[in-house]
Each structure stands twice: as C-alpha cells, then as structure tokens.
C-alpha cells in the first residue's frame, strides 16, 4: 500500500453528520460534497464560529469536496467591510481555504427578488401593512395560535404592484413588509407568515444605494445555498426550528437544488460570552480594547493572545459533534493550548518583578556566555546564548528572608541553582529606609556550572537574567475575562467581569535573545507561563509580551473551593 493510500485509509472520527453524508454518497444521492460557512459581517468571529468553520471546512476537506465562504450581507445597517476582511483572515489563519472567490448574499439580490415575485404569483406571499408590533401581536404565542393579517387576501396584482413600489422607494421604512403566506395556526411560530422583505433605506457596502428593500436571513439563506449547489447546510441548533421554513421556500420556488440542512450543538464555553451583541457592548463601553483584545473569545483575540490555530482545531475536535447542548470547561481549551505550546514553544527567561542580585565573588568586568537549550526535549530547536555577569535580576517572589522546608527558592543563608547556570548562596540583604528589600548580595560556586555542588544541596531552581545583557519589556498578564462560569446568566453580565483579567507590568526584564522575537512568536518563559510577542505593538525597540496561558490551571483550585 502506498503512502497516499495509507493517508487516505486513516480512520476519521465519525459523528451523526458524517453518517448522513456517508449514506448520501453510498446511495448515489450525491457524488460530491459541498458545504458553506455563511457569517454575517457585523462583528469579529468568536470561538463558537471556530467550531462551525472546522466542521464545514473540515468535512468538505475530508470528503475531497468544496466549502464556500459566503457573507450573509442582508442587513446593511450593521455591516462593515472591515469585519468581512477580518473574517476572511480568521478562516485562513485557522488553516482552511474556501472554494473559488468569496461569495456574498448580495450577489443574489436580483435572483432573490425574482423568487419573491414568483411566490406572489403563486399566491404564497403578500404585502402586509401591519407594524412590527402589530405583527407580533397577530403572530400569537407558543400556546395561542396566530390570526391572519387583514392584508393577507390581497390580489396577486395588488401585491406585485405594492412590492414593486416598495422596491422603487415609494414607502417609508417599516410601513410595509412582504410576508410568506403559510399557516398562522402552525405550532412552529417560524411558519406563521414570516417576513421575506422589509423596507430599509440604507447604503449597502456592496450594492450601494441600488436597493431599499432587503431580504430576511430565513429567505436568503436556503436560496443562496441552493444557488451555490450546496449539498449539506451545516448550522447550529438554534436553526432547527427554522428548517421547515428553509425547506418550504425551496419547495415553492423554481430551483432544482435542494440542500439538506443539518443542525449540531453550538459551542458553549465557561467564563465566556459568545453573543455578538454583548461582545460589541464590551468593545463600545471600553471594557476591552477592541474586538481583537487578547481577553476576547474572538479568533483574532485568541490569535493575538498566542493561541495557535492547531490548538484551537484540537480543542474543537475534542468537544465533538453532537446535538446535545452542553457547556465546555475553559480548562479543556487551555489544556489544548498548553499541550501544543509545550511541544512547540522555545524556552526563554523573563523576570517579571526584578530584584537585584550582586554576585560578590564574581569579577566586575567578566561576562560569561552560556549555551542554553531552546527546548529541553527537542534538540532540533538548538540553543540560545544567555549571559552570566556580576549583577543579575531574579524575581521578587523567588526570595524570602526565612522560610520552611517546603519553600524551594532562595532564602537568606541558603543556596539555590540559577537555571542553566551556577548555584548561588544569599549572604546579605540590602533594604531601603522603608524596609523594602532592594538588593541581595550572594556568592556563586564556580564549580557548579552543569554540575551538582559537593557537600551541600541547593533548595531549588529559579530563573534569572543578567542586568547588562537583558532588556526592559512590557508584560501583560491576561486572565479569564469573567470570574463566573456562566456570565450570560447574570442580571448584568458586566458585573461578572474579572477585575484581575489584565495586569500590566512595565519594567520586567527579559533575556537578550528575545530582542529577536517577531510579532506572534510564542515562548515559554521558564517557570512563568507561555507568552506571545504582541501582534501589533511588539518590536525590537519596544518589547511587548502577552501571557497566553499559565503553566498550570490556576483556576482549578479556586473553582474547587468555590
């Protein structure tokens, strides 16, 4: 068997969607698979969209099919070209390619309008003059059937005339709407004469001022799928009740293709909001610094934080594809990130809160080059140079004047090893007038580079940098944006914002090799966590690193206590 045959024979994880597709291919219903991803360009994509991207593009890829990227641009008041550009970049960054050119619902506005007139001619649509509030009243409830609009029985000629006048701009926004004529007593409220077209005199980012009436998503979605020859329209469970309407439109217009809509459970993630409206509120009210803030659950935000596309895809695969509604723990996403970065992120040293250390028995003018591994388990990554000199920095948290045996760092009168370097012993503490420790005076054991000391045992291993061969850096410590698992359930979700979701350290010190870091490069700062050079603000002259994730799940104990 050839390598290519071996690759093709790898068993793919099955699920109910793949079972449907397998059956369709086996029966001859389809000979090729075509899916689509249809976001609305009214905000940035979030982790929930990442699941839909992975499913739609991933299934097309696995079946050697095609997947279209189509912007659902039917609501011109909320759409921006910047959002569309960001969405396309996110899809590409996740590792997927769409078939051909990017599609837009606006590309089909002429055809959609033609189908609207066809429904009128078939007696299946009418122009209604009820206000939106009156429509809601007439619609009924889950326990009460709706009642017919007084405009429901207009003639075909009158409806066509009114629709054409709507299209010509003769009426004001909200004064009329085109509705499908289905069944006001249907147990499915979506089938109670839904709106097909509404008047909206707004400039469109693609069609300009050509249109002043725009189709609704329910009308546009299925027809756009059919126009593009989609075989399987994969979407989240909130569209399950809309499927009968999806099928009704396709069954009652002159179009041959009839895609199958299949729903799967959306991705709900603890400590996260995935409502675009609420995410926009976070941006507008300056709770975060834009849609790509590293605290945001947007794909752009996670990318800027240092999450890799591979880690996100791995996380999505672990959540599975089912119809069961459930919420995933944040730790599952963070574990995927840790596993990926643990294997792939080179190591470096950074001291977040520097404490000066003077090596009393080290020559004043000596600087020693030490080769340190870029990755302890991957020799192929090579080495980097670190520099040992008379004056060093360690982290303030790595020293205590006195401590019990469990403390494995530097203590007055005790020895500790500096990572990849010598063992030092603290002899003296220097304090300022307020009693704050400003300097430690230590001595090093020159016989301990790469060797254990003779006659004594150091307490532990700590990280450090040379004063002369390190650089100042800004370190941003990002944490979970919300301090409760389900912020959406709060009366005011903003009250659940974690006050410690961002801490900025301006005067950290990092080893000299990090000057070469490029934006989006990710490192493990030894003993501190994984950090990413900021995508937009980092440069060799202005070092800015964002914490991607801690080395361990620091929330596990907190939530256990809670």
Tens-place pLDDT, residues 269-310: 999 999 999 999 999 999 999 999 999 999 999 999 999 999
Q: Which two tokens stand for residue 274?
A: 């995935």
User: How many CB atoms are closer than 10 A to CB 397?
Assistant: 12
**Dihedral-angle region of residue 322 (phi above 0 means left; psi in -120 to 50 means alpha; beta otherwise):** beta
Average pLDDT, the chain: 95
pTM of the model: 0.92
Predicted local confidence at residue 26, as pLDDT: 97
Predicted local confidence at residue 553, as pLDDT: 84
The CATH 2.40.240.10 domain(s) of the chain lie at 268-345+471-562, 350-463
Rounded CA separation 127/356 (Å): 78
**When comparing pLDDT for 7 and 324, which is higher?**
324
**When comparing pLDDT for 316 and 405, which is higher?**
316
Q: Give the three-class secondary structure for 255.
A: coil
Q: Give the three-class secondary structure for 357.
A: strand
Predicted local confidence at residue 559, as pLDDT: 52
* Residue 551 clears pLDDT 70, i.e. is over it: yes
- The DSSP secondary structure of 39-78, one letter per residue, reads --SSS--BHHHHHHHHHHHHHHHHTT-EEEEEE----GGG
Arithmetic mean of pLDDT, 317-330: 94
* Fold type of domain 268-345+471-562: Ribosomal Protein L25; Chain P (2.40.240)
Class of the domain covering 350-463: mainly beta
Percent above pLDDT 70 for the chain: 96
Arithmetic mean of pLDDT, 91-108: 97
Predicted local confidence at residue 143, as pLDDT: 94
pLDDT band at 405 (very low <50, low <70, confident <90, very high): confident
* Residue 560 clears pLDDT 50, i.e. is over it: no
* Residue 3 clears pLDDT 50, i.e. is over it: no
Predicted local confidence at residue 425, as pLDDT: 97
The CATH 3.90.800.10 domain(s) of the chain lie at 108-216
User: How many CB atoms are closer than 10 A to CB 282?
Assistant: 21
Residue 43 contacts residue 292 (beta carbons within 8 Å): no
Could you give the residue numbers annotated as active site? 40, 266, 276
Burial (0-12, 13-18, 19+ Cβ within 10 Å), 465: buried
Strand-strand pairing, 195-199 and 177-180: antiparallel
Predicted local confidence at residue 7, as pLDDT: 41
Rounded CA separation 270/65 (Å): 34
Read off φ and ψ for residue 312, nearest 5 degrees: -65, -45
Q: pLDDT digit string (tens) for 230-273?
A: 999 999 999 999 999 999 999 999 999 999 999 999 999 999 99
Arithmetic mean of pLDDT, 26-47: 97
Predicted local confidence at residue 11, as pLDDT: 56
CATH number for the domain formed by residue range(s) 108-216? 3.90.800.10
Q: pLDDT digit string (tens) for 324-378?
A: 998 999 999 999 999 999 999 999 999 999 999 999 999 999 999 999 999 999 9
Predicted local confidence at residue 554, as pLDDT: 72
Q: Which of 88, 200, 205, 191 lies closest to 146 in space, CA to CA?
A: 191
Q: pLDDT digit string (tens) for 483-500?
A: 999 999 999 999 999 999
Predicted local confidence at residue 12, as pLDDT: 64
Least confident of 3-12, 368-377, 470-479: 3-12
Q: Give the three-class secondary structure for 19.
A: helix
Predicted local confidence at residue 77, as pLDDT: 86
Rounded CA separation 487/330 (Å): 13
Percent above pLDDT 90 for the chain: 94
Rounded CA separation 206/4 (Å): 43
* Residue 8 clears pLDDT 50, i.e. is over it: no
């Amino acid at each position: 068997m050839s390598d290519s045959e071996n690759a093709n024979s790898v068993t793919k994880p099955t699920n109910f969607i793949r079972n449907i597709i397998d059956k369709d291919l086996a029966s001859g219903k389809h000979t090729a698979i075509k899916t689509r991803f249809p976001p609305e360009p009214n905000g940035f994509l979030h982790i929930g969209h990442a699941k839909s991207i992975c499913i739609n593009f991933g299934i097309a890829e696995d079946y050697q099919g095609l997947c279209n990227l189509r912007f659902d641009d039917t609501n011109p008041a909320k759409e921006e070209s910047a959002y569309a550009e960001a969405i396309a970049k996110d899809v590409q960054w996740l590792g997927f390619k769409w078939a051909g050119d990017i599609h837009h619902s606006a590309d089909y506005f002429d055809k959609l309008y033609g189908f609207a007139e066809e429904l009128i001619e078939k007696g299946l649509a009418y122009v209604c003059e009820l206000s939106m509030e009156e429509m809601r009243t007439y619609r009924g409830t889950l326990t009460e059937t709706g009642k017919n609009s007084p405009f429901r029985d207009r003639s075909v000629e009158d409806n066509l005339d009114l629709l054409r006048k709507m299209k010509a701009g003769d009426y004001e926004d909200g004064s009329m709407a085109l509705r499908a004529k289905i069944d006001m007593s249907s147990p499915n409220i979506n089938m109670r004469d839904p709106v097909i077209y509404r008047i909206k005199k707004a400039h469109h980012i693609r069609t300009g001022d050509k249109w002043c009436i725009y189709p609704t998503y329910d009308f546009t979605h299925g027809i756009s799928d059919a126009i593009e020859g989609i075989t399987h329209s994969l979407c989240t469970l909130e569209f399950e009740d809309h499927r009968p309407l999806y099928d009704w439109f396709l069954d009652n217009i002159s179009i041959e293709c009839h895609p199958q809509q299949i729903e799967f459970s959306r991705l709900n993630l603890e400590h996260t909001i995935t409502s675009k409206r609420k995410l926009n509120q976070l941006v507008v009210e300056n709770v975060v610094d834009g849609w790509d803030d590293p605290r945001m659950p947007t794909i752009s935000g996670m990318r800027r934080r240092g999450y890799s596309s591979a880690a996100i895809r791995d996380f999505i695969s672990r959540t599975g594809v089912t119809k069961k509604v459930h919420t995933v723990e944040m730790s599952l996403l963070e574990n995927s990130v840790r596993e990926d970065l643990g294997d792939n992120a080179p190591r470096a040293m950074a001291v977040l809160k520097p404490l000066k250390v003077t090596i009393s028995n080290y020559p004043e003018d000596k600087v020693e080059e030490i080769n340190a591994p870029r990755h302890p388990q991957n020799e192929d990554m090579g080495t980097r140079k670190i520099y040992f000199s008379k004056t060093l920095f360690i982290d303030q948290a790595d020293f205590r004047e006195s401590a019990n045996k469990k403390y494995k760092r530097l203590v007055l009168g005790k020895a500790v090893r500096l990572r990849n370097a010598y063992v030092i012993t603290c002899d003296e503490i220097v304090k300022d007038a307020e009693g704050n420790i400003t300097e430690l005076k230590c001595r090093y054991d020159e016989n301990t580079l790469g060797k254990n000391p003779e006659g004594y045992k150091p307490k532990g291993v700590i990280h450090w940098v040379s004063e002369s061969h390190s650089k100042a850096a800004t370190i941003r410590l990002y944490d979970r944006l919300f301090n409760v698992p389900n912020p959406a359930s709060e009366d005011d979700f903003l009250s659940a914002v974690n006050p410690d979701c961002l801490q900025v350290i301006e005067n950290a010190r990092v080893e000299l090799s990090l000057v070469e870091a490029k934006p989006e490069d990710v490192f493990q700062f030894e003993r501190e966590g994984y950090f990413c050079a900021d995508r937009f603000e980092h440069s060799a002259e202005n070092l800015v690193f964002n914490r991607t994730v801690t080395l361990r799940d620091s929330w596990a104990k907190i939530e256990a206590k809670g």
